[in-house]
Every structure is written in structure tokens, then in C-alpha cells.
Structure 1
Amino acid sequence: MGQQRVGVAVLTMGNRPAELTRLLDSVAAQDTPATRVVVVGNGTPLPALPDGVTGVELPENLGVSGGRNVALDRLREFGDVDLVVDLDDDGLLIAPDVFTRLVARYEADDRLGIVSFRIADERGRTQRRHVPRLRSADPMRGGPVTTFLGGGHALSARMLDETGGWPDAFFYAHEETDLAWRALDAGWKILYDPEVVLQHPWTEPTRHAVFHRMVARNRVWLAKRHLPAPLVPVYLGVWTVLTLTRTRSVAGLRAWCGGFAEGLRTPCPPRRPMRWATVRRMTRLGRPPVI
């Protein structure tokens, strides 16, 4: 493999201009420079951007999936990007060697598809939900995993050409899992690298008004799209029990039930069940696709 060229994609809703500026400054300070940087205004005008940064303003909010696909398409048009790095607009690259580390990772493994960053707040803390494995809460334990973090990650452009991009219909929630399952089924690897860090404020997912509904709807769609038929009721049953056990908000449960019903009654094509070999591989990696 030759030198891997880095393209950066950032989505913004226009409500964090100062944070976006700091993020772009941290991208510009990388030892290995990005070949391209694209910022997508997801239904919002963009502020003035630094020289060399491409801005795309969308007339409406297409969600995380739709906005990222727009950024991917723009990077593909340039034709000189091998790795796509997606970053949250309120994140920050606190080390100058992030892209250097990523390039080394990809050059060492031709089948590496996705690298998941460690997400840490300004005090260095990583939330449990940002550790992409079931049996370890230790954020410093890296290695092969079955999913990745949306706030900061790298994607192989060759992998995306083979598997397709983000699931537009999902809008928000579980879009990473959908892409991860397709990547694994196509024989690509996903790596959690705790040495590659995106600093990000400490947050709760429930801050988004649509959280409960879309989490439920998209989880049903995930099962319908990707799981072998016998695993669909198992997966949905496990997550129903977990949700009923964990959710304390009556309004949240009501929204979750509405989203679950929406997922059952609406299609999310195409259905391409993963191979049983992929199920076994995910199980060996510590997360069978029933949880």
C-alpha cells in the first residue's frame, strides 16, 4: 500500500461556531496534513471557514447519516482521499500525531476498515458508553471490536466503495452499527485504538429530543436489514428487556414504544442478512449480534 491520504469530514448544525473553529485549528496542526477537509452545514449556513476547507451548505437537516454521506460524496469527487476521518464539531484533536497514527495503522493492514477513537473529556475521562466492547469498561484496552464511535473515527475509502456509505434513512442513532455490521460481513476489520483521542465534552445521549424514538426504530431496522431470521426476535427481545429495565422516564418509554412500532411496520430495505460466519466472528470478538 502507498501513502494513505487523509480526508476530514465535519458536520455542524451552526450552533457551535467557536468549537468548530478550534476543531479545524487542531486538524490544521496535525503532523500529517489532511489532503482535504469538508465541513457540511446540516440545514444551516456556514461561518467563514479557513483557506483550503471546503464548505457545503444543505437546505435542510439530513441527519447524521445523510449529512455524512454528503461529505463522503464531496470527498470522492476530489479523488485523492484514502481515509475518511469523521469528527464531531465540538470535538478537538489534542495531539498532533492523530493522522500519523492512523496512516501507520492502515498502511500496516490492508483489511483494516474502521478505526474507532477514544472519546475523552477535558479531564481525560471516557464514558462507559464510549468503550465499544461489552466485557471491559477499561477505556485503555484496545483491539478488534464489532462497532465504533460516531464522534471520532476513520474509515477506509476502499471499504466504503465495497460496503456503501451511511444508511440515509436512519437519520440519527445506530448508523455506526449498521455500517460496522456491513463492514464485518464483507471481511473488514474494526479496531478500537485508545491512543487516538478525540476530546469531547461529557454528554448524555438523551439530550437529543428524538433519542428514544429513533433508537428503538433504528434498532428494529438493524435487525430487519442485517440479522439472520432466527436472530431477529432474540435481538429485539433482549433489547426490549434491557430498555424496560434501564429506562426510568415514562415519556421516554412511551417514545421508545412508538419508535419500536414504527420500525416494525415500516420497511428499511434492502435486507441482506449477514453470514453465519460473521455471527461466529462477532461472537469470538466478544459481542454476538443479539445484544
Structure 2
Amino acid sequence: PGRAFHPIVLENGSRPDEAGLLEAGLPGSATLLASDANLGFAAGVNAAAAYGSADWILLLNPDLVPGEGVLGSLLSRLPAAPAHGILGAVRLGDGPRSYGEFPGLLDRFRAPSRVSSTGAPQQVDWVSGCFMAIRRSLFASLGGFDEGFFMQLEDVDLCWRALGAGFVTLVDPRLTFEHPGHLSYVRSGRDLGRDYHHARTRLLTRHRGRVVGWAYRILSGLSAMARTPRRGP
């Protein structure tokens, strides 16, 4: 009771005509921030999170479609336990899952985690930043997202650091969404694969150690070489 959403929208380097359409379509309660350049996901969220004062910050990608009634029920589903710091949702349809286990070198040989499709929230290692609720106090204490990640794995890093600070990440199977994914990459012209390998190297080096990060760089480089077509004699 008495709680409501305060939408904060970051116009992250869009064309002037698109920015005008965005501003015209926003409700009067929304705050619109503008950036001349594409800051990337991590830096963009950090900039937007500096505004507002609510106890929780909800991150939503602009191309995400929440399930029916999800946003209306979200406030009642936010965890009360102080140690529950992050809450995520389940992505529907094809494509990568919106939660999982912390990665390592041998991910292909591990059975991926799955949550029950019904019931109460369940603890996981990480949830996707495209639909993530996080306590503002926790987000601030962690220094927000690491802006060294442009638009890949910054959410996994944040959940990993939250766990190190004593906070649990949950996924609620009653909260669902659809998300086509990577539309921002298509428009930015950036190399998705290169950004991913840079981000994963950074992630593994920080949380698994330099040796694991170095080994990943070697293995990913060898894998890329193996996939490169050979030229004729």
C-alpha cells in the first residue's frame, strides 16, 4: 500500500527522431534521461539508478514483454528477508534461460540448473539483468554494475558479488516475460562474439582466478581457430 513505480527511462544514444517519439509516448510520471552515445547496458543502468529513492530498483529491457499481470503482482512478490537481495523472472520461449549457475571452464559438461515451473521463489546463482529487481541499498553498496562489461555478463558479475556480500539471488517462476534478445547489438553494430569473450574472460578472472581466466582465453582462441575455414593451397 502506498508504493508505486517511478519509471526512469534512459535514451541510450538513439537517433533524434526516435528520442522525440520516446518522449511523446512516456507517461507524465516518468523521468527521461538522455545520452548522446550508447553507454552500454552496465553504464546506462548505473546512470539511471542514480535517480529515484525507492527501496527496490527494477531493471527492464525496452524490448521485453512482461507476462500478463506480472508487473501488477511484482510488488507483492518482492522478498521480505533482508538477505534476499535480487529477484528475477523466467524467460518464456526459445533462447537462453534467464537464470543459471555461475560459469566456469567446463560448462558444457555440467547439467544446467532448472527451477520448478510452479511454486515459490527458488535460489539460483544469477538472474538476467533484462528483468531484475535488486535492493537499492545492495546495488549502491556494490557500486552498481561493473562498467567494464559493455552488454554481456554484467548481471552474472553483479549476482556473484552480491553473493560474496552475503545476499541471495532468487528467481520466481510466477514472474514471466518474453524477450527476443540482442536487438540492441544488432543496432549498435558491435561484435557480439568478441564482446562476449572479453566479458567472460573478465568474469572468470575476477571470480575464478587469473589461471582460469587465462585458460579460457587460450581455449576460446583455439576454438575460434578451429572454426575458421582454411584457405586452399
The separation in 1 between residues aligned to 2:184 and 2:227, in whole angstroms, is 14
Partner of 1:210: 191
Q: Deviations over 1:213-270 (max 9, x none)?
A: 111222222234344xxx432355357547855998539xxxxxxxxxxxxxxxxxxx
Give the match's secondary structure for 2:50: helix
Whether 1:154 and 2:130 are equivalent positions in the alignment is no
Give the counterpart letter for 1:66 in structure 2: A
The separation in 2 between residues aligned to 1:137 and 1:127, in whole angstroms, is 15
Give the counterpart letter for 2:38 in structure 1: N
1:132 pairs with one of 100, 103, 116: 100
TM-score for the superposition, normalised by structure 1: 0.62
User: Contact between 2:64 and 2:177, CA under 8 Å: does it hold in 1?
Assistant: yes
The separation in 2 between residues aligned to 1:58 and 1:216, in whole angstroms, is 26
User: Contact between 1:118 and 1:126, CA under 8 Å: does it hold in 2?
Assistant: no
Partner of 1:232: 210
Give the counterpart letter for 1:168 in structure 2: E
Q: Deviations over 1:110-134 (max 9, x none)?
A: 11111121112xxxx2534434246
2:43 pairs with one of 44, 66, 81: 66
Distance 1:185 1:37, change over 3 A: same
Give the match's secondary structure for 2:148: helix
Superposition CA RMSD, Å: 3.1
Partner of 1:98: 71
Whether 1:194 and 2:200 are equivalent positions in the alignment is no
Give the counterpart letter for 2:59 in structure 1: D
User: Contact between 1:116 and 1:152, CA under 8 Å: does it hold in 2?
Assistant: yes
User: Contact between 1:113 and 1:190, CA under 8 Å: does it hold in 2?
Assistant: yes
Distance 1:51 1:118, change over 3 A: same
Give the counterpart letter for 2:8 in structure 1: V
Distance 1:239 1:118, change over 3 A: farther
TM-score for the superposition, normalised by structure 2: 0.75
- How many pairs were matched up? 209
Give the counterpart letter for 2:95 in structure 1: Q
2:203 pairs with one of 217, 222, 243: 222
Give the match's secondary structure for 1:55: strand
Whether 1:83 and 2:64 are equivalent positions in the alignment is no
Give the match's secondary structure for 2:156: helix
Distance 1:237 1:103, change over 3 A: farther
Partner of 2:159: 180
Give the match's secondary structure for 2:151: coil
Q: Deviations over 1:39-87 (max 9, x none)?
A: 1000124221222111111111111111111110122xxx2x1111111
**Which sits farther off after the overlay, 39-48 or 202-211?**
202-211
Partner of 1:43: 13
Give the counterpart letter for 1:65 in structure 2: A
User: Contact between 2:145 and 2:158, CA under 8 Å: does it hold in 1?
Assistant: yes
Q: Deviations over 1:128-150 (max 9, x none)?
A: 44342463464645621111112
The separation in 2 between residues aligned to 1:203 and 1:245, in whole angstroms, is 23
User: Contact between 1:173 and 1:218, CA under 8 Å: does it hold in 2?
Assistant: yes
Partner of 2:104: none
Distance 1:187 1:154, change over 3 A: same
Unmatched runs of 5 consecutive residues or more in structure 2: 102-109
User: Contact between 1:131 and 1:139, CA under 8 Å: does it hold in 2?
Assistant: no
User: Contact between 1:4 and 1:83, CA under 8 Å: does it hold in 2?
Assistant: no
Higher helix share goes to which structure?
1
Give the match's secondary structure for 1:169: coil
Give the counterpart letter for 1:68 in structure 2: V
Unmatched runs of 5 consecutive residues or more in structure 1: 6-32, 252-291
